[in-house]
């Protein structure tokens, strides 16, 4: 019952599977003190409906850690929740969870934040412009550039661009962007993963990495010069490699991470290797934030069909990162 650093887990969209999977946390054998941010009455009702025998208590910072109990930082819900049914009136509650977790990070109450899924559409329907956890937390922390990285199945895959139409990707791949992304990736692999000299492989944009200009010039004009510049600065970065042969064991055995140029270049491989066990990690933030690799799954909420494996991995990853994290002075 010793005091341990605490990790905040936001339970996400109340009508989705976030509350369901959070109820599994006490049974996961986690190494540290996890505090769920959510509505205590909702979690109790969902536990009863699912037949889960979970001991819940209202969180206070002075409470001694008890691994058999789920500590819940109670946040009021504007309206009652029916599993699977979105309610625009509860959108502010979802943001309040993130705000409270961020406040706890800022004051040292929590060492990391893990987020269950939210529903972007219902938040926007409530009149709040919201493009996702990542952008919201970057804005709150005044972070100019963040990098999305997914981990799982023995892979770490970061993205140079994220949620862009495919036709917009080539114009977005600039030298400034790649320098920023690779610098953040290298820095966070050092300071949040404890890797003294991270080895990073970079994918090309075009088939066969442009085939010496016959299938595109982005590699020759942008990607290769950036890699050469960063190598001169001491970064262990190599490429660009054709994406169709990059994700092979003989290539990956000497790498700590891969940088893909766009969303569907890197993530299908990772999700094939680890779906349901993958972790979404936001690099570049001045704190640790991990998330599940899935959405709200409204059709599964309250039915006992949700898989909590990704949440388990996200918490374990956040805990491990917290043991390496060296915050900026």
**Residues 101, 110 contacting (CB under 8 angstroms):** yes
Confidence at residue 207, expressed as pLDDT on a 0 to 100 scale: 95
Residue ranges of domains in the chain, CATH in brackets: 1-143+285-329 (3.40.718.10), 146-282 (3.40.718.10)
Beta-bridge partner residues of 56: 70
Confidence at residue 210, expressed as pLDDT on a 0 to 100 scale: 85
Q: What is the pTM of this model?
A: 0.92
Beta-bridge partner residues of 7: 34, 112
Confidence at residue 4, expressed as pLDDT on a 0 to 100 scale: 79
**Residues 119, 86 contacting (CB under 8 angstroms):** yes
Confidence at residue 3, expressed as pLDDT on a 0 to 100 scale: 65
Confidence at residue 327, expressed as pLDDT on a 0 to 100 scale: 64
Task: Measure CA of the first residue to CA of the last residue in the chain; give whole Å.
Answer: 32
SS3 string, the chain, reads CCCCCEEEEECCCCCCCHHHHHCCHHHHCCCCEEEEEECHHHHHHHHHHHCCCCEEEECCCCCCCCCCEEEEEECCCCCCCECCECCHHHHHHHHHHHHHHHHHHHCCCCCEEEECCCCHHHHHHCCCCCCCHHHHHHHHCCCCCCEEEEEECCEEEEECCCCCCHHHHHHHCCHHHHHHHHHHHHHHHHHCCCCCCCEEEEECCCHHHHCCCCCCCHHHHHHHHHHHHHHHCCCEEEEEECHHHHCCHHHHCCCCEEEECCHHHHHHHHHHHHCCCCEEEEECCCCCEEEECCCCCCCCCCCCCCCCHHHHHHHHHHHHHHHHCCCCC
Confidence at residue 99, expressed as pLDDT on a 0 to 100 scale: 97
Residue 192 CB-density burial (10 A; 0-12 exposed, 13-18 middle, 19+ buried): buried
pLDDT (tens digit per residue) in 170-224: 999 999 999 999 999 999 999 999 999 999 999 999 999 989 889 899 999 999 9
**Residues 279, 310 contacting (CB under 8 angstroms):** yes
pLDDT in tens, the chain (329 residues): 446 799 999 999 999 999 999 999 999 988 889 999 999 999 999 999 999 999 999 999 988 899 999 999 999 999 999 999 999 999 999 999 999 999 999 999 999 999 999 999 999 999 998 888 988 999 999 999 999 999 998 999 999 999 899 999 999 999 999 999 999 999 999 999 999 999 999 999 999 998 988 989 999 999 999 999 999 999 999 999 999 999 999 999 999 999 999 999 999 999 898 878 899 999 999 999 999 989 999 999 999 999 999 999 999 999 999 998 776 54
Confidence at residue 329, expressed as pLDDT on a 0 to 100 scale: 44
Task: Round the average pLDDT of the chain to a whole number and report it.
Answer: 94
Q: Name the strands in the sheet holding 199-203, side by side, starting at the edge strand that comes first in the sequence.
A: 55-58, 69-74, 33-38, 6-10, 112-115, 289-292, 279-283, 147-152, 155-159, 257-260, 199-203, 236-241
């Amino acid at each position: 019952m010793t005091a341990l650093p605490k990790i905040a887990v936001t339970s996400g969209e109340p009508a989705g599977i976030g509350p369901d999977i959070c109820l599994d946390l006490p049974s996961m054998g986690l190494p540290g003190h996890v505090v769920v941010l959510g509505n205590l009455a909702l979690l109790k009702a969902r536990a009863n409906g699912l037949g889960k025998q979970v001991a819940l208590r209202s969180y206070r910072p002075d409470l001694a850690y008890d691994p058999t109990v789920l500590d819940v930082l109670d946040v009021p819900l504007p309206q009652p929740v029916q599993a699977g049914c979105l309610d625009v009136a509860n959108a502010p509650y979802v943001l309040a969870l993130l705000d409270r977790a961020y406040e706890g990070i800022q004051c040292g109450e929590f060492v990391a934040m893990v987020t269950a899924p939210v529903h972007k559409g219902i938040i926007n329907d409530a009149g709040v412009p919201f493009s996702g956890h990542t952008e919201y937390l970057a804005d709150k922390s005044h972070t100019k550039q963040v990098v999305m990285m997914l981990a799982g199945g023995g892979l770490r895959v970061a993205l140079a661009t994220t949620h862009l139409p495919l036709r917009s990707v080539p114009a977005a791949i600039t030298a400034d962007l790649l320098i920023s992304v690779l610098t953040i990736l290298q820095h966070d692999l050092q300071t949040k993963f404890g890797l003294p000299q991270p080895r990073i492989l970079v994918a090309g944009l075009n088939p066969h990495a442009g085939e010496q200009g016959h299938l595109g010039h982005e590699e020759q004009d942008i990607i290769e010069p950036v890699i050469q510049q960063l190598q001169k600065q001491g970064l262990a970065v190599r490429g660009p490699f054709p994406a169709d042969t990059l994700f092979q064991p003989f290539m990956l055995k000497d790498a700590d991470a891969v940088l893909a140029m766009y969303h569907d270049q890197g993530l299908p491989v990772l999700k094939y290797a680890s779906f349901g066990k993958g972790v979404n990690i936001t690099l570049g933030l001045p704190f640790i934030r991990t998330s599940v690799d899935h959405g709200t799954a409204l059709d599964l909420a309250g039915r006992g069909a949700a898989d909590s494996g990704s949440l388990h991995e996200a918490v374990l990853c956040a805990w491990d990162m917290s043991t390496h994290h060296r915050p900026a002075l």
